[in-house]
């Protein structure tokens, strides 16, 4: 587990992130994420830790992402290169990085996602289908609202990734009774092994 308490503005309290040695060689950029989420287990494992820490913060501050100063050394503390530092720290201009819980609380797709991601006591396939489609619906809502349907700039894949993280964090923050929603959601997504990328196993 990474003890980043003194180096990072976020609290890594709920998810026991394990730094696998082989993950140090993984290189993923957000612009290459499939559908706005990582393709490798290493980066999904790291995103779980990031999303759960961000959700914990959002419950207290309403902001889904920290400021640049608060973000600090968090990505480097995880010991992986998944694009988090580029997008959430350096590229604070990403439109979905400024979203708060107040922007979502009255939105129908968000309320639906809170419900559909709270039933992982049901058969896994059904739970996955419901939660995955709901979170992706929130991601698309955020992208359309804050980035724009007709945005054709070169940062669109990165914007999609930031909006996806914002959607996942907001749903996790709104479901305080189940802090493991990011882990469950990311386990539902199919894995695609990128060429030349090492896949690590989540134990």
What's residue 150's pLDDT?
Answer: 54
Q: Of 33, 12, 24, 64, whose CA–CA distance to 179 is shortest?
A: 12
4 is a domain residue: no
Instruction: Check: CB of residue 128 under 8 Å from CB of residue 183.
Output: no
203 is a domain residue: no
CA atoms within 13 A on the CB side of 43: 28
12 is a domain residue: no
Q: What is the pLDDT of residues 142-163, one digit of tens each?
A: 999 888 865 555 457 888 888 9
- Please report the sign of the dihedral spanned by the C-alpha atoms of residue 128, residue 133, residue 139, residue 142: negative
155 is a domain residue: yes
144 is a domain residue: yes
What's residue 128's pLDDT?
Answer: 93
Q: Which domain, by its residues, includes 127? A: 21-188
What's residue 201's pLDDT?
Answer: 32
198 is a domain residue: no
What's residue 40's pLDDT?
Answer: 84
pTM across the whole model: 0.83
178 is a domain residue: yes
2 is a domain residue: no
Q: Is 106 helix (H, G, I), strand (E, B) or coil?
A: coil
Residues of the chain with pLDDT under 70: 1-9, 12-16, 18-21, 68-80, 85-93, 149-155, 191-203
Q: How many domains does the chain fold into?
A: 1
Measured CA to CA, the distance from residue 200 to residue 203 in angstroms comes to 9
């Amino acid at each position: 587990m990474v003890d980043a308490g003194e180096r990072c503005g976020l609290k890594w309290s709920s998810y026991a992130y394990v730094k696998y040695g082989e993950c140090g060689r993984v290189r993923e950029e957000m612009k290459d994420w499939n559908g706005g989420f990582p393709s490798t287990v290493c980066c999904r494992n790291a995103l779980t830790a990031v999303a759960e820490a961000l959700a914990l913060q959002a419950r207290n501050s309403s902001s889904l992402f920290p400021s640049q100063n608060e973000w600090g050394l968090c990505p480097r503390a995880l010991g992986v290169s998944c694009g988090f530092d580029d997008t959430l720290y350096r590229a604070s201009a990403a439109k979905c990085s400024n979203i708060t819980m107040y922007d979502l609380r009255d939105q129908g797709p968000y309320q639906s996602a809170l419900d559909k991601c709270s039933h992982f006591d049901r058969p896994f396939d059904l739970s996955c289908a419901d939660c995955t489609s709901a979170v992706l619906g929130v991601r698309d809502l955020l992208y359309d609202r804050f980035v724009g349907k007709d945005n054709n700039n070169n940062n669109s894949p990165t914007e999609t990734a930031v909006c996806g993280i914002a959607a996942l964090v907001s749903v996790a923050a709104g479901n305080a009774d189940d802090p493991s929603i990011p882990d469950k959601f990311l386990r539902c997504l199919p894995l695609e092994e990128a060429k030349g990328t090492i896949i690590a196993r989540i134990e």
